[in-house]
Amino acid sequence: MLNWQAIDTVFLDMDGTLLDLHFDSHFWLEFIPAVYAEKNQLDPDEARIWLHERIMREVGTLQWYCFDYWSKELDLPITELKAEVADKIGYRDSVQEFLHRVRQTGRRIVIVTNSHRGGVDLKFKHTELESEIDRVISSHDLGVPKEQPLFWEKLQEIEPFDPARTLMVDDSLPVLRSAREYGIAHLLTIAQPDSQQPPRDLADCDFQVLNDFSEVFPD
């Protein structure tokens, strides 16, 4: 699936790629609607529908991922509430072995995420990710989400890389299309970002699909 001899730099998304997306799915689709409904004395189902519609209006923007934005919009302490369900944070299958093997080859490993820094800190607190990579860069640091081509230009300024010799793994197809437009040559997506949901139908996907990181362990 990969020609590791053609790869120097490894960029990895975090949520839904290295970590099981179930934590975030549960938080936004179940936990927050329940908290919001109780706080505002609303019917739970009505709150869930309203929140889903409200959140979907921010798809593809930095606000979609921003704890500060949603804390203000919903009048809820998002960072603190995330910590209440942190027991659901976990790796996807074979991720730690993959990271270990890539590090052994000497290649640079960088988490490139749209996650808010508060989310990154929480995930690092409950996993060993921080010690398994070389660097983490959040789109909030750069002021633009990964879905926009400008992100990669800004990333290049602080983390120089050769697009032709870079691997990017991400569960988001819009992000991968943006990376491809910039010239990143090696692109993989994830079949099942959320372990509690069935694999996605990616039959017409124009990227190679990864079921398990064991499929791409370096030689």
What pLDDT does residue 218 have?
95
What pLDDT does residue 136 have?
98
Instruction: Tell me which residues of the chain have a pLDDT lower than 50.
Output: none
What pLDDT does residue 61 have?
87
Beta strands in 114-216 (DSSP E): 135-138, 166-169, 186-190, 208-210
Q: Give the residues across from 109 on adjacent strands.
A: 10
What pLDDT does residue 168 have?
98
Domains parsed from the chain with CATH numbers: 4-20+90-216 (3.40.50.1000), 23-87 (no CATH)
What pLDDT does residue 59 have?
83
C-alpha distances in Å from residue 126, one per residue of 19, 22, 51, 179, 181: 11, 15, 27, 29, 34
Can you give the pTM of this predicted structure? 0.94
What pLDDT does residue 6 have?
98
What pLDDT does residue 64 have?
84
C-alpha to C-alpha distance for 115 and 66, rounded to whole angstroms: 7
